[in-house]
Chains A and B, each alone.
Chain A
Amino acid sequence: MSQTTTMTGSGPVTRSGVEPSGPRPKPFFTPPRIILYTVLVFACIYFLFPLYVMIVTSFKTMPEIRFGNIFALPAQWTGEAWIKAWTSACTGLTCQGLSPGFWNSVKITVPSTIVSIFIAAVNGYALVNWRFKGSELFFAVLIFGSFIPYQVFLYPLVVITRELGIFGSLWAVILVHTIFGMPILTLLFRNYFASLPQELFKAARVDGAGFWRIFFEIMLPMSLPIFVVALILQITGIWNDFLFGAVFAGTQNYPMTVQLNNIVNSAQGTPEYHVNMAATILTGLVPLIVYFVSGKLFVRGVAAGAVKG
């Protein structure tokens, strides 16, 4: 924009008196700025509109929805749809609402997150400090494999989990999430451990500390930031998963995303849009909370994973 003015204003040479220094303050409302903010605000409307519609619809009653105005605020706010979505909405088979799905998702997400992060952290540590023959090659294949569509592995993994006797259980989902979380998380931890000063590791080796002792007593305490990033990545990623839950979990363990889709897309009878929207918000709530609480770390997490991967 009008950057040339800043060039002349900078750099006060003499300190004689109370001359104002620094760049000349620019007026806030210049025409280009107004256009700029207008465009950004319109973009934000596009991004916020679905959220608004979801919230507004979920608090309406069905007669009001049938009136046909998705913009309007509810004439009478009611939490009825939320209660129904949580406790008694039908998924085609049962009518227990989303709550079983929620707890299934918790049961899947918590162990998968812990196991996958722990394994990846150890991997990253071994890759940086304990290289063995071929370790870099394995790592390269791991990263490369993360680009292959899941459909390629789907059936063989069904066979493997069936042979292990865990197909259709929570263990199968946890295993699959651990496998497919590994490339990105290992990359994250490898890069992080590589950035730590190597002298620490060497000093510990000289003092006779072994593999696990160095890992638990030196590496782990220093890697809190990267653990938070990995946590954000895994919680949102696993919570949002649909495919693995649908294939490996088995009917009684369906995660929330699968049950939500069943409630909305395979329910019989007249669709209840307010219940659908309440259920949709409920499903999106966990990742949204993670997103808003973590703020900049979320950006760092996804970008760190993405830029390098």
Chain B
Amino acid sequence: MADTAVQTAERTRAPGASRVLYNTFIRNLSAKIAAAPMVLTVLVVFIGCTIWTVYYSFTASRLLPNNKLVGFDQYERLFATARWNVSVTNLIIYGSLSLVFTLTIGFVLAVLMDQKIRFESAFRTIMLYPFALSFIVTGLVWQWIMNPTLGLQGTLRNMGWSSFTFDWLNNPKMVLYAILIAGLWQGVGFTMVLLLAGLRSVDEEIWKAARIDGIPTWRTYISIVLPMMRGVLVTSVVLIGSGIVRLYDLVVALTDGGPGISSEVPAKYVYQYMFSGGNLGQALAASTMMLVTVLIIVIPWAYLEFGGKGRRS
């Protein structure tokens, strides 16, 4: 690929230190200038800002960052705050349910779509369009549908089903599931498309072999095709997972954390303390915790996908 560059370097062989300088700065100069935005982004934003955030999470920063180091104080205070603990619990509940339901429903829909059905592209268009929408739009539509007096509940009660109850937005115990319904509405179609692509990539010969062996279709899907789709599955899990940790817009639009603090999430906590709470140290400690969570999800995946290639069969 870069042979040409190597040849140029050999032709202009300069001795010692000047050669190092030449290699570092002058060779492929335009390429280096062109890649400067990427290099800057990586160094300043992805590395620099991360370090900045982690460092200042150990300080007593209030309205503005300051350098007074206080050890783990911010973290101790963080985990002593009811609002944060509720946020974390919510995220765990929402996250595990969202992961399970998105994958299950997405897979079932993908299998159904894989049965050589008619109007496949129409079905796909309908299932995927919510994915093109903003979380704010999704949140507001579902807020209206779940409006207790005039939404679905009111409508069905007016129609004569007087015991029908669907007041999840006002019910601290159920509000998370309201967010789940809206989140699934937006995200399931995308997972379905991913998994359908995975199903289609399975060799037709596998299906023929399974059919000859008389294995029922559902069995083939569960025991043969599903394990073969490992790559797509893992990717879906990572994507859904990193989306869950970021969960913010949807909650802001649908419930704004309410009723009370019963649907708060970590990302909202960070925003709150950073821009209106005037407690930067808390906000940065909370975002560092989010960072740690994502690292726990992504590092094993990155290792499996790119690191231990030799051992992968």
The interface of chain A, by Cβ under 8 A from chain B, is 1, 3-4, 7, 36-37, 39-40, 43-44, 46-51, 53-54, 57, 65-71, 119, 122-123, 125-133, 135, 138-142, 144-145, 147-157, 159-160, 178-179, 182, 186, 198, 202, 205, 210-212, 236, 239-243, 247, 257, 260-261, 264-265, 273, 276-277, 280, 283-284, 287-288, 290-292, 295-296, 298-299, 302-303, 306-307, 309
Contact = CB atoms under 8 A, between A and B. Distances in A.
B1 A131 contact: yes
B197 A148 contact: no
B211 A4 contact: yes
Interface of B: 1-2, 4-5, 23-24, 27-28, 30-32, 34-35, 37-39, 41-42, 44-50, 52-53, 56, 65, 109, 112-113, 115, 117, 121, 123-138, 140-145, 147, 149-152, 154-155, 157-159, 185, 189-190, 193-194, 197, 211, 217, 232, 235, 238-239, 242, 245-246, 248-249, 252-253, 256, 266-267, 270-271, 274-275, 280, 283-284, 286-288, 290-291, 294, 297-298, 302, 306
Contact of B135 (A54, A141, A242): A242
A70 B34 contact: no
Contacts of A43: 109, 127
B140 A276 contact: yes
Nearest to B246: A149
Contact of B197 (A122, A153, A307): A307
Given A123-B38, A154-B287, A236 B46 contact: no
B53 to A, nearest CB: 5
A119 to B, nearest CB: 5
Contact of B23 (A53, A131, A133, A296): A133
B35 A126 contact: yes
Contact of B136 (A46, A47, A130, A242): A242
A70 B287 contact: no
B252 A242 contact: yes
Contact of B112 (A39, A133, A157, A241): A39
Task: Identify whether the interface residues of B are mostly helix, strand, loop, or mixed.
Answer: helix
A146 to B, nearest CB: 8
A127 B194 CA distance: 27
A142 B42 contact: yes
Given A299-B128, A307-B235, A156 B144 contact: no
A152 B143 CA distance: 29
